Structure 1
Amino acid sequence: MEQLKRYWQDFFAIDRNEDDWWARKQALFAERGAEIIQIKGNGHVYSKLSYEQENIHQYHLHVQYLIKQQKQLYLEESVTPYLFKKDHQGNMQAHRRHDYKQEDLVKTEMFKQGDSSSLNSRSKYNRQAAVQYAERWWNDYNPAYRQFPVDCTNYVSQCLYAGGAPMHGAPVRERGWWYQDTNWSFSWAVAHSLRWYLAGATSGLRGEEMKTANQLIPGDVICYDFTGDGRWDHNTIVVAKDANGMPLVNAHTDNSRNRYWSYEDSTAWTPDIQYKFFRIHIE
């Protein structure tokens, strides 16, 4: 862990104010009785531009952790976007680029109203299919769907649909859960909206609230309010369980695979974080 921390700080010039994030991640592994036995990391520059005497590189930092917990081995992965700036004096700065706040994500554009007749209606939730989709697209974007700047809920909705969740409610964006080529419900793409849709739906796709994380199984959903202010910021899908029977999740923004469910290793985490645990049903 310390080796990777030095790699980030020295090679990528990461702000040392992120020490709290590293401390939480180390404590989380220790608490779980888990050990990182191998780490791989690399950065990929995907954009370069220059303006006002600054050179700005955008890159993705892809880190893989091979984790041993009791007799179980699994691979945790994350891909984090950064801005890397070099000014005319040669000074370097790196900034993590993510923002879980989505209040205005889909409310600032106009979309064509569509016909709901083509929306698929399916009956039984196929958890294996949902997890397979989550694994296929955890670090990629299905061209059949729009990619959002904050993509976590769009990704989880795609996973649920791949598992057979039926869409309904089009073309009213405040109603139901659905996606079309140029239009979609708020619940499809906004974390806060999906959280309340799962809690309130009585037919089709619905969520049964569980009391604790260990009650969840692959294909279920976790919702996060990082600051405890009542505005739900993030969603993940459970893809596996660790050796202690606790959920491991996949997510977009930041793209993550087999991440421990609590997100204590996130820079967005605060001591006031709130969670909702939903067992997914289709009725």
Structure 2
Amino acid sequence: MRDQLHELLKKRVQQCVSHSRSSIHTCPKIEKKKESLSGRSGEIVKAQATGKVISVGMEKEDVTPVEYRVHFKYLIKQKGVFYMEEEIEERTADFYKGVFVEDREKNPFKDIIKEEAFPDRVFEEEEERYEYEYDRMKAVQYAEKWWNTYNPAYKKFDVDCTNYISQCLHAGGGPMRGYPNRGKGWWMRSGNWSYSWTVANSMRWYLPSSNSGLRAEEVSSADQLLIGDVICYDFQGDGRFDHTTIVTGKDASGMPLVNAHTYNSRMRYWAYEDSTAYTPNIKYKFLTITDDQ
């Protein structure tokens, strides 16, 4: 099984840099990534993938599922400028009587329970002011350090995207407030946390509505964002936001590149067109962090 997975990864790496349309092109996700890059005058000039088997499931009707993780690195050239994108894929391969038959990437957002019980706008404001200066570089440095690992000083979640972004914002100087009320402010402390710290939909509402401590202003397009700013994603377009990323760079056209958890990625193009969670109904919110001085 491992040898067959190794061959599969080799084919996917070859697909990243191939310009042909031969049968080697078996991964729609990679084709979407290449198409997106082509539309931005970019291309993958080199790719590397390393895989690790996580678990081998129970055989059922001669089919054995194998869970495995892949770390992809893409060297991208765009308008003469090079940058490195990285991502972690969590995948499942099925083997029928020991022979590979199917491979698919998990969609971590597909089975998320929409937090209907989690309030959106219960953030009672305080009269006390929390003065701070947002250090965008420190936020980005934190995002780069922890993009593919987890700071033991914080709790880790299965869906960790907003928790990770909160940590980045806090590293940039965003002050916690509201403890111990989970529906108030933005905080993580003593093994507890506010909805706005960990829930994508709550952060989406909290940042632009806050008038004390950490807050943001909504802008109309991605190109208006600076490094250290935040993008919120509603993959289904149903009004409930599922995902949060932080801007950690810009491509050669000045468009945001983002870091994220769930699944872990760095310097990824902001639109997520190559994501398994992407749908034609996707909606975005672009939030630029404002200082409070």
Residue in 2 that maps onto 1:172: 181
**1:233 counterpart residue number:** 242
Q: RMSD across aligned C-alpha pairs, in angstroms?
A: 2.6
**Equivalents in 2 of 1:261, 1:90: separation in Å?**
37
Q: Secondary structure at the match of 2:68?
A: strand
Structure 1 portions without partners, runs of 5+ = 9-15, 109-120
1:35 to 18, 43, 56: 43
Deviation at 1:6, TM superposition (A): 6.7
Task: Mark the CA change 1:48 to 1:105 in structure 2 (over 3 Å): closer, same or farther.
Answer: farther
| Distance in 2 of aligned mates of 1:193 and 1:259 | 23
Q: Is the contact between residue 186 and residue 197 of structure 2 (CA under 8 Å) also seen in structure 1?
A: yes
Identity value in percent: 48
Deviations 1:90-112 (A, max 9, x none): 5644342232264467979xxxx
CA distance in 1, matches of 2:103, 2:11: 19
Q: In 2, Cα distance between the equivalents of 1:163 and 1:36? A: 32
Partner of 1:47: 55
Please give the alpha-carbon distance, in whole angstroms, between the structure 1 residues aligned to 2:37 and 2:182: 41
Aligned in 2, Cα 1:50/1:7: closer, same or farther, shift over 3 Å? farther
Mapped contact 1:39–1:64 kept (Cα < 8 A): yes
The residue number in structure 2 matching 1:216 is 225
Query: d(CA) in 2 for partners of 1:71 and 1:85?
Result: 41
Secondary structure of 1:238 counterpart: strand
Deviations 1:77-125 (A, max 9, x none): 11011133445575644342232264467979xxxxxxxxxxxx77111
State the match for 2:143 in structure 1.
Answer: 134
Conserved in 2, the CA contact under 8 Å of 1:69 and 1:243? yes
Displacement after TM superposition at 1:35 (Å) = 1.6
Aligned partner of 2:162 among 120, 143, 153: 153
Per-residue deviation, 1:263: 0.6
Summarize the alignment of residues 199-214 of structure 1 with structure 2, pairs less than 5 Å apart: 199-214=208-223
Write the letter of the residue equivalent to 2:230.
V
The structure-2 alpha-carbon separation of the partners of 1:251 and 1:220, relative to structure 1 and needing over 3 Å to count, comes to same
User: Structure 1: how far apart are the matches of 2:214 and 2:113?
Assistant: 23
Distance 2:13 2:115 in 1: 33
Which amino acid in the other structure matches residue 64 of structure 1?
A: K
TM-score of the two chains, using structure 2 as the length reference: 0.81
> Helix, strand or coil: the match of 1:257?
strand
Give the aligned partner of residue 5 of structure 2.
none
Q: Given the two structures, how large is their TM-score scaled by the length of structure 1?
A: 0.84
Unaligned residue ranges in structure 2 (runs of 5+):
1-9, 17-25, 119-129
- Give yes or no for the alignment of 1:282 onto 2:284: no
Superposition deviation, residue 187 in structure 1: 0.8
